[in-house]
Amino acid sequence: MVGELFAAACLDPDVLARLGGPIGEAARGAAASLAAEPARKQRATRAAWAAIARMPVPAGIRGVDPSWIEAGLAGLPATARTALASAAVDLPGVWLARWACSELVPLPADDAQRPPRSVADLVRLPGPDLAAWLDDVGADQLAFALAAAGDPAVTQAAPAVGEILLVARDRIRLAPRRGALGPVRAAIARCKVTLGDAALATIAARAIASHVDPWAARQLAIRLPHALGKVVLGELRAHAHSAHDQAPTWAALGA
């Protein structure tokens, strides 16, 4: 939808050609699709796309965790909540509703199942399934890193991490995870965290960062509770340019 909005607003293909990343690709694809339509239909399509830009609530946010909405409303006047709930049509109401949703991006339908076979599947996981998947990936990495010091190291860490670590220890010995979790040194570096509620998700975000583009990173974050999503987004951004050959393969991640 963001690509369609750019295509509706910009008539110059040279400008669209300068847009980078997934948004640029989407904008150019929408512009090409628009150009293939008859002139009369082009005007109607462009008007429909432009109308979406004036909606008080962005399209495609059904799968956003409600805590992101609450965080967006924090510090805004009480009328912002009313504007958001009532799909305001007056300009101040639209502005307030859009401000509250300023960190949100459109999401695809949350109709994917675990395990995700690609990043495209990953961003379609419902929030609870995504959180559980991240914990599993983090547990795999932690078990892999600890196993370098011997199996007793994994057993000793289990009380602090939970049964999930022992389950991970057993499954990383088998294909397709065996030999596909990245170099041990890289896993050890990823696992330098303070153990807590977000520890496994933090490790997982570092592990998958090189597979995830900035748009998908934001989509993943807003499916999670706000506090956890902020942590995951920060790690995805911080490790986005890590070497791809240091990361686990998608065959291991999607197992």
Name the most confidently modeled range: 69-83, 86-100, 159-173: 159-173
pLDDT: which is higher, 138 or 24: 138
End-to-end alpha carbon distance in the chain: 31
- Return all residues near 128 (Cβ < 8 A) that are at least 6 apart: none
Band (56; pLDDT cuts 50, 70, 90): low
Enumerate residues 6+ apart whose C-beta is below 8 A from 5. 49, 50, 52, 53
HSE, side-chain direction, 13 A CA sphere, residue 56: 18
What pLDDT was estimated at residue 14? Answer: 85
**Tens-digit pLDDT profile for residues 183-220:** 999 999 999 999 889 999 999 999 999 999 999 999 99
Q: What is the pLDDT of residues 25-44, one digit of tens each?
A: 888 888 888 888 888 888 88
Residue 133 CA to residue 123 CA, distance in Å, equals 12
Q: Which of 27, 32, 38, 37 is nearest to 4 (CA)?
A: 27
If you average pLDDT over residues 45-73, what whole number do you get?
Answer: 80
CA 52/CA 152 separation, integer angstroms = 57
